[in-house]
Amino acid sequence: MATALITGASAGLGAEFARQLADRGHDLVLVARGRDRLEAMATELGAAHGIDVEVLPADLADRAQLQRVADRLSDGARPVDLLVNNAGFGQERGFLSGDVAEEELALDVMVRAVLVLSHAAGRSMRGRGHGAIVNVSSVAGFVVMGTYSALKSWVTVFSEALATELSGTGVTVTAVCPGYTHTEFHDRAKMDMSALPEMLWLQARDVVAQGLADAAAGKVVSVPSWQYRLVTGGVRVLPRRAVRGVSGMIARRRRTVDRSG
């Protein structure tokens, strides 16, 4: 039976990855900061699907705790066949409006942790000749909307580079790049998203199902919806000056809505 390790597994897309993989019969290793939510999920999923669910509480911004997760991925006696790097959070303020420590925290969780865990998993999987890494990125990485865009751009390009390095080894890497998705993500970041048209919202179950299907097919970059495939296709052919202009206009409009609320 295959084993999947999921970071940020206690809520949002991470929890949906856990549910869908459990439904497919995968054993799970669930990683997040809060032990209570993880243990509740482990009990629920284990009972519902007859699988083994391991709980591994860890704050991925803490280097010692991150290393414990990396060590679990490197454990040859308990191989992990699928790594889902999902942990992350939204950022409400502009880069210069907040404390730089918040930016460093985002860098640790959404870049350094992806780097460290992909390194551990990639080496271990390559040695066994099979495995998959799914890095949850974002459509934001194709546009220009603050630090979050920059971080997710790194995740996508890093995934492409690692996929190229692992080509022919039996190990695949997929960057899943959703657009706006109905989860706890924006509420936790205290973002007012009320002005966004409903047609731009995705369902978590659809994002995860398409992301897993694309990963199984060996697709390197997955944009799981026709709306956002149109957006990313357009962004790729537009001059970067135009992309910056449109992104800036959207960001200014969102800040105006936030202040008026």
Q: How confident is the model at residue 248 (pLDDT cuts 50, 70, 90)?
A: low
Predicted local distance difference test score (pLDDT) of residue 259: 42
Q: Which residues pair with 203 in a beta bridge?
A: 182
For residue 138, the model assigns a pLDDT of 94
**What's the mean per-residue pLDDT of the chain?**
88
Most confident of 12-21, 172-181, 183-192, 235-244: 12-21
For tokens 């084993």, what's the residue? 3
pLDDT average, residue stretch 246-255: 58
Domain 3-260 CATH superfamily: NAD(P)-binding Rossmann-like Domain (3.40.50.720)
Confidence of residue 231 (pLDDT cuts 50, 70, 90): confident
- 228 is annotated as an active-site residue: no
DSSP codes of every residue in the chain: --EEEEESTTSHHHHHHHHHHHHTT-EEEEEES-HHHHHHHHHHHHHHH---EEEEE--TTSHHHHHHHHHHHH-TTS--SEEEE-------S-TTTS-HHHHHHHHIIIIIHHHHHHHHHHHHHHHHT-EEEEEE--GGGGS--HHHHHHHHHHHHHHHHHHHHTTTTTEEEEEE---SEESSHHHHTT---TTS-GGG-EEHHHHHHHHHHHHHTT-SEE--SHHHHHHHHHHHHS-HHHHHHHHHHHHHHHHHHHHH-
Contact 18, 3 (CB under 8 A): no
pLDDT reported for residue 179: 82
- Say yes or no to pLDDT of 129 above 50: yes
pLDDT of residue 234 exceeding 70, the answer is: no
pLDDT at residue number 42: 98
What pLDDT sits at residue 58? 98
pLDDT single digits (tens) 141-156: 888 878 999 999 999 9
Torsion angle defined by CA atoms of residues 246, 252, 257 and 259, in that order, rounded to the nearest 10 degrees = 170
Residue tagged active-site, from 142, 148, 158, 185: 148
Domain parsing of the chain, residue ranges: 3-260
- pLDDT in the model for residue 226: 78
pTM of the model: 0.87
